[in-house]
Structure 1
Amino acid sequence: MQLDLNLLAALDALLEEGSVAGAAARLHVTAPAMSRSLGRIRRTTGDQILVRTGRTMTPTPYALAVREQVHELLQQVQGVLAPSRELDLATLERTFTLRWHDSLVALSGPALLAAVRERAPGVRLRFVAESSVDSPELRRGEVDLEANANQPGARDVRAEKIGASPLVVVVRQGHPLTRGSTVTAEEYAAAEHVTVSRRGSVGNALDEALARLGLTRRVVATVPTQAAALDFVRGSDLLISVPEATARSAAADLGLAVLPLPLDLPLAPVYLSWHQRYDTDQAHRWLRGLARKALALGGSS
């Protein structure tokens, strides 16, 4: 039997996307063409690969068992057919899309852009806002790098912990909490809070820590970005609790005070994430290296 390598690429896309439409969009083919490829794969393997369960499609046990092997085989084939060449940064023309937390863009974005411009003037960075819902752009190749506090759960998305930072309290200069030598958990809970959530959520790990002490806080506003929250804090007696790595420089610029958080909480992590299809992409790998350095210089580690 003669093997069609196009079926290997189609199978890899189907297993990663979990749908005919998603696989078709990824490989830039029509849905009917991908459906025909799925039919050929089913005849070749003797397995259904994906079966419909309600509105979604679920991989079969065989599909789950071979998913990693299929991806590795495709990577090997692509490596043979497209042998590695030395990356010429001076002539590289490419746009990278980065979805970073807004505080990380402000803190580390300028350093990353400067490093990119120095080495590869033809490369453009496109920073986009985080979505209010979990979105598949990273898996679809529409976003190259993510940087935030979330560790992705998808098997085909790589995540590297760049660093971690303790949470601190940010208030305006002259806020009542700045008058004492320390801030107690009771004083912290009694203050009015503004929180940052792209989904508009009010509660988080801080509330769980306070609940263990028999305390609750009053959240009077929730905003989608840290920059907006700091503006709220600057003109009121509100406080915000954010990672120290992203708080100090922003607070200094705005004339705000940074205080220790009077709660025992784990450090807030920073993850750099990308899809595994870019593992061996030289330009992408180069950008990841620069992003690691920029985030580290920003104080996330």
Structure 2
Amino acid sequence: MQLDLNLLAALDALLEEGSVAGAAERLHVTAPAMSRSLGRIRRTTGDQILVRTGRTMTPTPYAIAVRAQVHDLLQQVRGVLAPSRELDLATLERTFTLRWHDALVTHAGPALLAAVREQAPGVRLRFLAESSVDTPELRRGEVDLAANADRPTASEIRAERVAETRHVVAVRAEHPLTRAGTVTAAHYAAADHIAVSRRGRLSSVLDGALAALGLTRRVVASAPTEGAAFAFVRNSDLLVTVPESTARPAAAELGLTLLPLPLDLPPAPVYLSWHQRYDTDPAHRWLRDLARGALTDPETAGHRPAPSEPVRESG
């Protein structure tokens, strides 16, 4: 049997008004149209629904029994087809999964979590480590929000460039380069390097920039995360080249020195990415606003009005 949801609205109106004329006026249809709907309801249910008693119509025992259920069902249908966009953060209970670059978790994760806990204590965050291979987790709904330096290319994935930062060189405080005065490209190339790569790569855009100057460097190892690379740098004369915004807090904590990178490189971008299915999800939009603030300025994240959704780059 093919269901017509219009009949549910008609039945609810008939049971509330107790008359064909009243139900017709309520739904802004003609009385003959409502009479036809009543006839269809009677054939579908096998019940008279309303019967005439003198000048009025009386609901049948079946109609009385299902009246509350019909009304509740209609409200549920309306909620599905026209969902409320109001968000009650105080009662929101939801778990969001975030796959962020490890340095971004260290840089902005604490500020994001603090803001979430302050505004919506029922919300939980799951931070996952980046995979060594590209995965379709955003498309499959396994990850709600990604943040890294890569702009996704899939058409259904939204990508917003929320921040950018220059590259710097991190070394231990007693590294020879700290006594070199101005660090030149030749000084930089002559040092031993450790690379940061979740895929284990030993070369990057840095090598191309050096090659343009007729220089090469020696990368003795790669580390999967910036935190791991800092551990190597802290106890050796290795150096690592990293984005300044994520390196500065770690460098202060570990006692590392940050030096200017003597190469002309474009700023390192930070992209916030999500699947388009969440574009109009109020809770996801709220989380994006907080994440944007944390990635842009962790010191003020969660302590300012949420910005309006900016124009996004589609990828």
The answer to whether TM tops 0.5 is yes
Shift of 1:178: 0.3
Confirm whether residue 127 of structure 1 aligns to residue 111 of structure 2.
no
CA distance in 2, matches of 1:234, 1:82: 57
Q: Tell me which amino acid in the other structure corresponds to 2:242.
A: V
Partner in structure 1 of residue 194 of structure 2: 194
CA distance in 2, matches of 1:239, 1:99: 27
Shift of 1:298: 3.7
Q: Secondary structure at the match of 1:216?
A: coil
Superposition pairs of residues 125-164 of structure 1, within 5 angstroms: 125-164=125-164
CA distance in 1, matches of 2:290, 2:183: 38
Shift of 1:202: 1.1
CA contact (8 A) 1:245 1:298 kept: no
CA distance in 2, matches of 1:158, 1:116: 22
Partner in structure 1 of residue 286 of structure 2: 286
Shift of 1:85: 3.6
CA distance in 1, matches of 2:146, 2:122: 21
Partner in structure 1 of residue 171 of structure 2: 171
The size of the alignment, in residue pairs, is 225
Partner in structure 1 of residue 84 of structure 2: 84
Q: Secondary structure at the match of 2:203?
A: coil
Partner in structure 2 of residue 222 of structure 1: 222
CA distance in 2, matches of 1:273, 1:251: 28
- 1:39-58 CA distance string (max 9 Å, x none): xxxxxxxxxxxxxxxxxxxx
Partner in structure 2 of residue 99 of structure 1: 99
- 1:118-153 CA distance string (max 9 Å, x none): 011110000000000000111101001111100001
CA distance in 1, matches of 2:252, 2:298: 14
Q: Secondary structure at the match of 1:126?
A: strand
Structure 1 unmatched runs, 5+? 3-77
Q: Describe the shift of the 1:79–1:203 C-alpha distance in structure 2 as closer, same or farther (beyond 3 A).
A: farther
CA distance in 2, matches of 1:82, 1:204: 50
Q: Describe the shift of the 1:126–1:83 C-alpha distance in structure 2 as closer, same or farther (beyond 3 A).
A: same
CA distance in 1, matches of 2:298, 2:176: 30
CA distance in 2, matches of 1:211, 1:82: 59
Q: Tell me which amino acid in the other structure corresponds to 2:166.
A: P
Partner in structure 2 of residue 269 of structure 1: 269
CA distance in 1, matches of 2:80, 2:91: 24
Shift of 1:297: 1.1
Q: Tell me which amino acid in the other structure corresponds to 2:119.
A: R
Superposition pairs of residues 60-79 of structure 1, within 5 angstroms: none
Q: Tell me which amino acid in the other structure corresponds to 2:199.
A: R
Q: Which has the larger Rg?
A: 2
Q: Tell me which amino acid in the other structure corresponds to 1:182.
A: T
Shift of 1:84: 2.3
CA distance in 2, matches of 1:147, 1:160: 10
Partner in structure 1 of residue 252 of structure 2: 252
Tell me the TM-score normalized by structure 1. Answer: 0.72
CA distance in 2, matches of 1:161, 1:254: 29
Query: Identity, % of aligned pairs?
Result: 73
Shift of 1:163: 1.1
Q: Describe the shift of the 1:114–1:158 C-alpha distance in structure 2 as closer, same or farther (beyond 3 A).
A: same
Structure 2 unmatched runs, 5+? 3-77, 300-315
